Amino acid sequence: MPLQNGNMRKGTEMRVNEKIRNVAIIAHVDHGKTTMVDAMLRQSGVFRSNEQVQERVMDSNDLEKERGITILSKNTAVQYKDIKINIVDTPGHADFGGEVERVLKMVDGVVLLVDAFEGAMPQTREVLKKSLALKLKPIVVINKIDRPGSQPLKVVDDVLELFIDLGADDDQLEFPVVYASAKNGVATLDLNQPGENLQCLFETIINTIEPPKCDLDGTTQMLVSNIDYDDYVGRIAIGRVERGVIEVGQAVAICKEDKTLNSRVTKLNTYEGLKRIEVEKAEAGDIIALSGVSDINIGDTICDYNNPEKIPFVNIDEPTVSMTFSVNNGPFAGKEGEFITSRHLRDRLFKELDRNVSLRVKETDSADSFEVSRKRRVAFVCFD
Question: Both 93 and 48 in a single domain?
Answer: yes
Contact between 374 and 321 (Cβ < 8 Å): yes
| pLDDT at res. 26 | 86
| pLDDT at res. 171 | 93
**Dihedral of alpha carbons 147, 152, 156, 162, sign:** negative
Domain membership of residue 4 (yes or no) is no
Domain membership of residue 116 (yes or no) is yes
Query: What CATH number is associated with residue 201?
Result: 3.40.50.300
* pLDDT band per the 50, 70, 90 thresholds, residue 65: very low
Question: Both 188 and 226 in a single domain?
Answer: no
Question: Both 165 and 234 in a single domain?
Answer: no
What does the angle CA 148 – CA 156 – CA 209 come to, to the nearest 5 degrees?
Answer: 120
Q: Which of 248, 270, 304 is the last residue of a domain?
A: 304
What angle do helix axes 122-133 and 152-165 make, rounded to 10 degrees?
Answer: 50
- Across the chain, mean pLDDT equals 80
Residue 157 confidence (pLDDT) above 70: yes
Domain membership of residue 309 (yes or no) is no
Domain membership of residue 1 (yes or no) is no
Question: Both 170 and 250 in a single domain?
Answer: no
Residue 53 confidence (pLDDT) above 70: no
Domain that holds residue 190: 18-211
Which residues contact residue 253 at a Cβ distance below 8 angstroms, ignoring those fewer than 6 apart?
Answer: 260, 261, 262, 263, 302, 303, 304, 305, 307, 308
Question: Both 117 and 27 in a single domain?
Answer: yes
Q: What single letter denotes the amino acid at residue 25?
A: I
Residue 46 confidence (pLDDT) above 60: no
Stated pTM of the model: 0.77
For residues 40-67, average pLDDT: 51
Exposed/middle/buried for residue 82 (C-beta within 10 Å: 0-12, 13-18, 19+): exposed
Domain membership of residue 166 (yes or no) is yes
Contact between 131 and 26 (Cβ < 8 Å): yes
| pLDDT at res. 54 | 47
For residues 188-207, average pLDDT: 94
Tally Cβ neighbours within 10 Å of residue 242.
28
Q: Which of 211, 243, 268 is the last residue of a domain?
A: 211
Query: What CATH number is associated with residue 361?
Result: 3.30.70.870
Contact between 71 and 64 (Cβ < 8 Å): yes
For residues 303-319, average pLDDT: 79
Alpha helices (H) along 46-151: 62-67, 97-103, 122-133
* pLDDT band per the 50, 70, 90 thresholds, residue 318: low
| pLDDT at res. 186 | 94
Question: Both 249 and 330 in a single domain?
Answer: no
User: What pLDDT, in 10s, does the model give residues 82-141?
Assistant: 899 999 877 644 444 455 667 788 899 999 999 999 988 876 787 788 889 889 999 999
Domain count, the chain: 3
| pLDDT at res. 37 | 87
Q: What percent of the chain has pLDDT over 90?
A: 36
Residue, of 384 and 13, whose pLDDT is higher: 13
What does the angle CA 210 – CA 214 – CA 218 come to, to the nearest 5 degrees?
Answer: 180
Query: What CATH number is associated with residue 234?
Result: 2.40.30.10
Which residues contact residue 327 at a Cβ distance below 8 angstroms, ignoring those fewer than 6 apart?
Answer: 333, 340, 341, 342, 345, 368, 369
| pLDDT at res. 273 | 79
Question: Both 186 and 90 in a single domain?
Answer: yes
Alpha carbon of 201 to those of 39, 79, 205, 246: distances in Å? 11, 13, 6, 32
Domain membership of residue 94 (yes or no) is yes
